[in-house]
């Protein structure tokens, strides 16, 4: 992998992680689930009411917060990733938070979130550094607390998945595409009949899609995919996801190429996992 490919693959991996981080809170999580994504002891988590400098303090604070909130939804339009050192990144994530409190009151708060991430930090729970770690986190409240409603929470949630999960799915997909990981992509694809049309290449099965992806990999010296402006809309059985995708790659006998397209997917719930069902694109 060259530098462009490595940087884009890491950016997709980080964006997927951030979407998944917020999704865990909306599904109802606990600190035991979150600990593998934290350092062993020292953190810097800054909230409007409190600053926490250790994992033990964070556990106590988060446990109280979890008990205070009955359900929630995070609306995230975009995530911005900046490399600030070797294996270290800063992430800026504006988001709108809707929650139902135990008191029965619905609230809405707009935040700008800042995360510091380490992609190679080894810990007692993760000695091989397989997980990204959140070493610092700060949220700055924008404006006043406003009323909300159950409709705002239900609007992006579907059973065990949300629009946030659908956006994470997009970034995870292209992180695997750029390293040519067809086997993992097949675990993200529906077992049912597919409806896929990529530049006139029509596919209706996982085997056809896998063969196509492997041919693409063999025809490219490298590839880099950057999805932007992801919009996910809930349906009865999943999500329609539309986004702009920029491709940079070197194609055998064609040389360097830059292409942008509008991609539309349908993701469905299959055995409690989001799976790709439909895929079309339109070249810009």
Residue 240 and residue 154 in contact, taking contact as beta carbons nearer than 8 Å = no
Q: Which residues, in sequence order, are bridge partners of residue 10?
A: none
Confidence grade of residue 174 (pLDDT, cut at 50, 70, 90): very high
Rounded mean pLDDT of 227-237?
A: 94
Question: What pLDDT shows up at residue 94?
Answer: 97
Which of 210, 186, 215, 167 is CA-nearest to residue 275?
186
Domains 3-155 and 162-283 share a fold: yes
Question: What pLDDT shows up at residue 198?
Answer: 92
Rounded Cα–Cα distance for residues 59 and 40 (Å) = 12
Can you read off the two tokens belonging to residue 2? 């060259």
pLDDT higher than threshold 80 for residue 9: yes
Residue 237 and residue 255 in contact, taking contact as beta carbons nearer than 8 Å = no
Residue 170 and residue 278 in contact, taking contact as beta carbons nearer than 8 Å = no
Rounded Cα–Cα distance for residues 241 and 267 (Å) = 7
Rounded Cα–Cα distance for residues 175 and 14 (Å) = 10
pLDDT higher than threshold 80 for residue 159: no
Question: What pLDDT shows up at residue 31?
Answer: 83
Rounded Cα–Cα distance for residues 275 and 169 (Å) = 9
Q: Return the SS3 of 36.
A: helix
User: Which phi and psi angles does 79 have, rounded to 5°?
Assistant: -125, 135
Question: What pLDDT shows up at residue 131?
Answer: 97
pLDDT higher than threshold 80 for residue 108: yes
Burial per residue of 262-274, b for 16 or more beta-carbon CB atoms within 10 angstroms, e otherwise: ebebbbbbbeeeb
Rounded mean pLDDT of 186-215?
A: 95
* Among 3-12, 24-33, 115-124, the least confident range: 24-33
Show me where the domains of the chain are located: 3-155, 162-283
CATH of domain 162-283: 3.10.450.50
Can you read off the two tokens belonging to residue 249? 């790659």
Per-residue pLDDT tens over the stretch 90-99: 999 999 999 9
Strands 69-76, 80-85: parallel, antiparallel or unpaired by DSSP?
A: unpaired
Residue 47 and residue 60 in contact, taking contact as beta carbons nearer than 8 Å = no
In which element (H, E) is residue 182 found? helix 182-187
Question: What pLDDT shows up at residue 65?
Answer: 84
Please state which CATH class domain 3-155 belongs to: alpha beta
Residue 190 and residue 268 in contact, taking contact as beta carbons nearer than 8 Å = yes
pLDDT higher than threshold 90 for residue 79: yes
Could you tell me how far CA 13 lies from the centroid of its own chain?
Answer: 8
Rounded mean pLDDT of 152-170?
A: 91
Question: What pLDDT shows up at residue 168?
Answer: 97
Q: What percent of the chain has pLDDT over 70?
A: 100
pLDDT higher than threshold 80 for residue 67: yes
Question: What pLDDT shows up at residue 29?
Answer: 81
User: What is the residue-averaged pLDDT of the chain?
Assistant: 94
């Amino acid at each position: 992998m060259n530098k462009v490919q490595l940087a884009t693959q890491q950016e997709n991996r980080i964006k997927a992680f951030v979407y998944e981080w917020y999704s865990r809170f909306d599904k109802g999580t606990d600190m035991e689930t979150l600990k593998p994504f934290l350092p062993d002891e020292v953190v810097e988590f800054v909230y409007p009411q409190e600053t926490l400098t250790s994992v033990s303090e964070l556990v106590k604070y988060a446990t109280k917060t979890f008990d205070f909130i009955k359900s929630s939804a995070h609306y995230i339009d975009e995530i911005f990733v900046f490399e600030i050192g070797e294996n270290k990144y800063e992430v800026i994530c504006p988001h709108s938070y809707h929650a139902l409190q135990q008191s029965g009151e619905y609230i809405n708060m707009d935040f700008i979130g800042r995360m510091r991430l380490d992609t190679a930090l080894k810990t007692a729970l993760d000695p091989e550094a397989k997980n990204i770690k959140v070493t610092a986190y700060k949220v700055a409240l924008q404006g006043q607390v406003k009323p909300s409603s159950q409709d705002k929470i239900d609007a992006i949630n579907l059973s065990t998945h949300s629009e946030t999960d659908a956006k994470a799915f997009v970034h995870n997909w292209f992180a695997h595409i750029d390293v040519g990981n067809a086997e993992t992509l097949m675990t993200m694809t529906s077992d049912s009949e597919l409806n896929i049309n990529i530049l006139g290449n029509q596919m209706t099965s996982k085997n056809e899609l896998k063969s196509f992806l492997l041919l693409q990999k063999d025809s490219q010296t490298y590839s880099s995919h950057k999805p932007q402006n992801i919009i996910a809309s809930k349906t009865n059985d999943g999500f329609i996801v539309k986004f702009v995708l920029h491709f940079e790659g070197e194609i055998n006998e064609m040389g360097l190429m830059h292409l942008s397209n509008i991609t539309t997917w349908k993701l469905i719930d299959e055995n409690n996992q989001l799976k790709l069902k439909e895929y079309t694109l339109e070249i810009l």
